[in-house]
Chain A
Amino acid sequence: MKRMKQNFYTTLLAICAGLLLSTSAVSVEPNQATAPKWLPLAQDGLHDPEGPGIKILQEPSEALSQLPGDIVGNKVNWVRTLDKGFIDPRINLYSNTKEKVLDLDVIRRNTGEMNMVRFPHRQHTEWLDCTNCHEWLFKSKAGATKFSMYDILKGEFCGRCHGAVSFPLTQCNRCHSVPRKSVLAPAKAN
């Protein structure tokens, strides 16, 4: 009886090993270093390879391979791309729309055991207008808007963009970047 049980587990182990090998044989390919970072449009699971427009559209690899790299998202560090002048995206359609860049960091202390969050206005206002976030999503007064990481993960507040179009929420330390003992720590909680 014991022998049978052992045989059963040996067989199970063999099956598992076989599965393991076959799985890796199938799946390792796209993760190889030589695999392209950007899928061709016709293979991205969204575009119809039979569509008449597919050959005219710009391929991600053509544009994105020219820009400073990243490990997530589009594999492009968009802030650096703009800062270093790799691109000069248009600021407005109407000449009377003024650009308002604000160079002001906000430190949020209320982050539990994580490092505090530094929110840099400059990088955000290079891309966005004040009204994209204020006053409807965030109050201008620091600390006046109450939200949690759970809200962000649900796609609210910072999660409106981060996790959807700007760097994903798996990049904890990009926001949680200020150690609690840092000189940047504000005296007052916000």
Chain B
Amino acid sequence: MTKTLSPYISGLLSCTAIALLLTFLVPTTAQAEYGDVVLNNRAEKSGMRPVIFPHWFHRIRFRCKVCHTEVGFEMRAGANDILMVDIIEGKLCGKCHNNKIAWGPQNCHLCHSGLPGLKTGIRGGDSTGGPGKW
């Protein structure tokens, strides 16, 4: 009766089961939407919340090439040095966020909507890790 399962094996099996569970079931922490970008190279240093840029929202309205060719955003999170003064002058985000194509830069909190302390980079659930995840 007591010899049905070697104790070593049962211990090993249960530990494996736990490891598997932890791998597949535990990622319950909040997950941003795939492709969300945190911009915080400058925001918090200037006393504002970090900016959250949602790719999904913009992609419904604009093709990638509009921002990554005409506007000139580099395709690498964190690689674009974005100053508020440029946006107000109609460059970068300000090419659309000008009260004509989209709401203007006076709506600070619509972009500066992130939690304090976030690091610049690409985020999101469902396998977004950005470069170097694997």
B14 touches A17 (CB 8 A): yes
Contact pattern, A 21-42, Cβ under 8 Å of B = 1, otherwise 0: 0011011111100000011010
List the A residue with the shortest CB-CB distance to B30.
A45
In angstroms, how far is the closest chain B Cβ from the Cβ of A154? 6
A1, CB-defined interface residue at 8 Å: no
The listed residue (A39, A72, A89) touching B63 by CB distance below 8 A is A89
In angstroms, how far is the closest chain B Cβ from the Cβ of A103? 17
Beyond A26-B28, A160-B75, 16 extra complex contacts between A and B, CB < 8 Å: A20-B14, A20-B18, A30-B28, A39-B30, A45-B115, A48-B115, A53-B113, A73-B127, A74-B34, A74-B56, A87-B61, A89-B66, A129-B68, A160-B76, A163-B131, A168-B126
Chain A residues with a Cβ closer than 8 Å to the other chain, count: 71
Residues of chain B whose beta carbon lies under 8 Å from any beta carbon of chain A: 2, 7-8, 10-11, 14-15, 17-18, 21-22, 25-26, 28-36, 38, 49, 52, 54-57, 59-66, 68-71, 75-77, 95-96, 101, 107-116, 118, 122-124, 126-134
Stretch with Cβ within 8 A of B (4 or more), from A7-15, A110-118, A138-146, A178-186: A7-15
User: CB-CB < 8 A to B107: which residues of A?
Assistant: 53
| Complex Cα spacing A9 to B132, Å | 40
Instruction: Answer whether A47 and B114 are a contact pair too, CB < 8 Å, given A53-B107, A165-B122.
Output: yes
List the B residue with the shortest CB-CB distance to A63.
B60
User: CB-CB < 8 A to A155: which residues of B?
Assistant: 130-132
Residue pairs across A and B with Cβ atoms less than 8 A apart, 15 shown, are A6-B7, A16-B17, A23-B18, A23-B22, A51-B113, A53-B107, A53-B110, A72-B127, A90-B61, A93-B96, A97-B69, A127-B64, A154-B132, A163-B130, A165-B128
In angstroms, how far is the closest chain B Cβ from the Cβ of A22? 10
A16 touches B18 (CB 8 A): yes
A5, CB-defined interface residue at 8 Å: yes
B115 touches A47 (CB 8 A): yes
A27 touches B62 (CB 8 A): no
A76 touches B122 (CB 8 A): no
